A = this chain, B = another copy of it.
Amino acid sequence: MLTVHHLKKSQSERIVWLCEELGLDYELKCYNRDPVTMLAMPDYKALHPIGAAPVITEGALTLAESGAIVDYIVAKHDGARLTIAPSHPDFAQYLYWLHFANGNLQPGMGRNMILNRLSLPDDNPTRVAMRGRLDRALRYMDDRLEEATWLAGEQFTIADIMTVFSLTTMRHFYPLDLTPFVHIKAYLQRVGARAAYRLAMEKGDPGMSPMLG
């Protein structure tokens, strides 16, 4: 049995969402964060040496790292319909946004979250540079979502599943105003209209605001 170990308000929401999109039969185990530090508690950290979300288990296998888990579930649980084949004209776009999620957007959000915590002056050059880099990434994504329904094109894929956390739940940790990015905001409305997304959020983080606005 595939078990998804979901740390509340974390990147593991991607895996719950993937399982719901694929209609898989899976077990969901939810773990609370420490209410003071907001970090994972010992029960979650004990699942894997790296101690971060997400983690899945299946038989003897324990696997961490979002991208790895998504690829694993797609390969082992019949998920090819959420991917784009190499022969398709959207293949390169699909690959770009699939890897942009953790190769650019999420590290950019994380760096800015950390710099925010340091109470640096607003004109600190590192802070200005990192905020500029994140703005460029969001602007580029906004341009893409002006021309495409989903990141890869007309088809919803795992590129969307990898990306949305950084634009939504991550804003509980790094407040980011998406007002300048109207196409990203419209995209998040399309995400919120998906039954599988709503179900995943209700199961994983009942009562949490999904930050789609």
Residues of B close to A130: CB separation below 8 A:
114
Bound: A68/B93 CA distance, A: 9
Interface residue SS majority, chain A: helix
Within 8 A of B (CB), among A122-154: 124, 126, 130, 136-137, 140, 143
In the assembled complex, the CB of A195 is this many whole angstroms from the nearest CB of chain B, namely: 28
**For the complex, is A110 an interface residue (Cβ under 8 Å from B)?**
yes
Copies in the complex: 2
Residues of B close to A111: CB separation below 8 A:
107, 110-111, 114
A77-104: CB near B (< 8 Å → 1, else 0) gives 0000000001000011001101110111
Find out whether the CB atom of A99 lies under 8 angstroms from the CB atom of B136.
Answer: no
Find out whether the CB atom of A50 lies under 8 angstroms from the CB atom of B104.
Answer: yes
Closest 9 CB pairs of A and B: A67-B99, A107-B107, A68-B95, A75-B86, A68-B99, A68-B96, A102-B103, A65-B99, A49-B140
Give chain A's interface residues, CB within 8 Å of chain B: 49-52, 61, 63-68, 71-72, 75-76, 86, 91-92, 95-96, 98-100, 102-104, 106-107, 110-111, 114-115, 117-118, 120, 124, 126, 130, 136-137, 140, 143
